[in-house]
Amino acid sequence: MRENMNEKCAVVGIFGHEEASKLAYFSLHALQHRGQEAAGISSADGEKVHTIKDRGLVMKVFNEENLKTLKGSSAIGHTRYSTAGDDSILDAQPVFARYDLGEMAIVHNGNLTNAEEVRNRLIKRGAIFQTFMDTENLIHLIAKSEKDHLLDRIIDAVQKIEGAFSLVFLSRTKMFAMRDRFGFRPLSLGRLPNGGYIVASETCAFDLVGATFIRDVEPGELLIFEDKKEPISIKIFEPTPKHCIFEYVYFARPDSSVFGQSVYETRKNMGKELALIEPVEADLVIPVPDGGVPAAIGYAQASGIPYEMGIMRNHYIGRTFIEPTQEMRDLKVKMKLSPMTDIIKGKRVIVVDDSIVRGTTSRRIIRMLKEAGASEVHMRVSSPPTTDPCFYGVDTPSKDNLIAANMSTQGICDYIEADSLAYLDEASLLRSVNAAADDDNYCTACFTGKYIV
Ligand code: AMP
């Protein structure tokens, strides 16, 4: 079976608004950074659930005409990111189904760790699957449950799944939002200006549609949205928070607040901590845009070394299809990131990025900066070495391809051809997110190999 089915996605749910699908559409734009592979929205008008989904960016999938067909006062949406395997439109979400209680649609962010087991059991009992997505398991679990009401069936189904899930379910008249007991992936609740509700992976979606933040959906909590009432909360699991610390490092948008804190502030703290533990004499601090920007600002502020924009990013380049030769690959990188020669020529440069995964990006960037005349390039990374793959919803390569799992820091420094290389350590990372050194409310498995499930 294919790996990495639901990595790095975004979910949104709108309830109790006349233009629910339009608000879901705008929200997906705000959440586009979490997935560019496919997008989809399902809406419900009390009688039917309508779904539109396709491969590509939100802007490509939706237009004024097709949005009009997504009728109703509730809607759920999804953007999907996947690097591996099947690009089939069937693997886009929402996952929609007709079953004995009517119609439903589901969106999911996270990865189920017992997906294969559950699927094999279902297949043995006669289930037929259309996609490789673990989310489809949920449809079958709900459809096959013997309970009379959807709510009880959802409760039944989520007891059988393990791993990371932030989920939003839509029926013809109701909406449900749920987070796994660890709260790996974020999910927040907000109030729409007219009194309806929104749930979304990140609060940057709230800002866009004018919603006010109420609170995070708690780990292990199920919210039921029905009629014009306040959402009803049921505690399904005892919460044992293990928030994904990589949301702060790389994933979330800096203008979002996740797990109760500003992403921008935590990222800037990482840069400050890094400057304190890994100082180096230099003329300039420059970020790898866009991910490295807040940490580079923090590094510059704490070190007193001037911050400059040393690399320009072209925002209009999506995935490029030219790959075959090395020369073309290098060109491709330059298309996306180009050096500001006048700024860096003859200068000792500290370049800050949020993470090194395979090491290929840093290697190309450092080469590019040297070619542009930088006299020294010191690489500073605002997170610890990424040594272990993620099974809870982040798209990371296997251990073989994680450079820090296979090389020492000096080895990596030589490989990326930097004059020096240093990472943030785990204690400083925890301090940056205002957590104590022995705080166990975060999942740091990608840096420590300490897995929870
Ligand atoms: P590389 O070391 O070449 O694999 O890439 C490192 C770059 O990828 C850094 O600039 C990160 O900002 C970015 N990055 C880190 N994690 C991910 C991820 N899960 N998906 C996509 N890009 C990532």
Confidence band for 4, pLDDT divided at 50, 70 and 90: very low
Tell me the CA–centroid distance for residue 381 and ligand 1, in Å: 12
Which 3 state secondary structure label does DSSP give 9? coil
What global pTM score does this model have? 0.94
DSSP letters of 21-54? Answer: HHHHHHHHHHTGGG--SEEEEEEE-SS-EEEEEE
State the DSSP H helix or E strand holding residue 109, giving kind and residue range, or none if neither: strand 102-109
Residues spanned by CATH 3.40.50.2020 within the chain? 265-432
Helix axes 135-144, 115-124, angle to 10 degrees: 40
- C-beta 355 within 6 A of ligand 1: yes
- C-beta 250 within 6 A of ligand 1: yes
Report pLDDT for 107.
Answer: 97
Amino acid identity of residue 45, one-letter, is D
> Which is the closest atom of ligand 1 to the Cα of 363?
3
Q: With 80 as the cut, is the pLDDT of residue 7 above it? A: no
Contact (Cβ atoms closer than 8 angstroms) between residue 312 and residue 278? no
Whose Cα sits closest to atom 15 in ligand 1?
355
> Which is the closest atom of ligand 1 to the Cα of 361?
3
> Which is the closest atom of ligand 1 to the Cα of 292?
12
- C-beta 295 within 6 A of ligand 1: no
- Catalytic residue numbers, as ranges: 9
Select 6-241's CATH number: 3.30.460.80, 3.30.710.10, 3.60.20.10, 3.40.50.2300: 3.60.20.10
Chain-centroid distance of CA 12 in Å reads 13
Whose Cα sits closest to atom 19 in ligand 1?
395
Token output for 279: 């100082």
- C-beta 145 within 6 A of ligand 1: no
Token output for 381: 């990374």
> Which is the closest atom of ligand 1 to the Cα of 7?
19
pLDDT tens digits along 38-95: 999 999 999 999 999 999 999 999 999 999 999 999 999 999 986 444 567 778 999 9
- C-beta 303 within 6 A of ligand 1: no
Report pLDDT for 85.
Answer: 41
Contact (Cβ atoms closer than 8 angstroms) between residue 41 and residue 22? no
CATH topology of domain 265-432: Rossmann fold (3.40.50)
The residue to mutate among 3, 36, 250, having the most atoms of ligand 1 within 8 angstroms of its beta carbon, is 250
pLDDT tens digits along 378-432: 999 999 999 999 988 888 888 999 999 999 999 999 999 999 999 999 999 999 9
Closest by CA to 225, choosing from 17, 453, 444, is 17
d(CA 278, CA 281): 10
- C-beta 359 within 6 A of ligand 1: yes
- C-beta 311 within 6 A of ligand 1: no
Contact (Cβ atoms closer than 8 angstroms) between residue 21 and residue 41? yes
Q: With 70 as the cut, is the pLDDT of residue 326 above it? A: no
Tell me the CA–centroid distance for residue 224 and ligand 1, in Å: 36
Residues spanned by CATH 3.60.20.10 within the chain? 6-241
Task: Please give the radius of gyration of the chain, using alpha carbons only, rounded to the nearest integer.
Answer: 22
Q: Where is average pLDDT lowest: 6-10, 95-99, 244-248, 395-399?
A: 6-10
Average pLDDT for 334-360? 95
- C-beta 358 within 6 A of ligand 1: yes
As a whole number, the mean pLDDT across the chain is: 93
State the DSSP H helix or E strand holding residue 275, giving kind and residue range, or none if neither: helix 263-277
Whose Cα sits closest to atom 13 in ligand 1?
355
pLDDT tens digits along 174-198: 999 999 999 999 999 999 998 899 9
Tell me the CA–centroid distance for residue 355 and ligand 1, in Å: 6
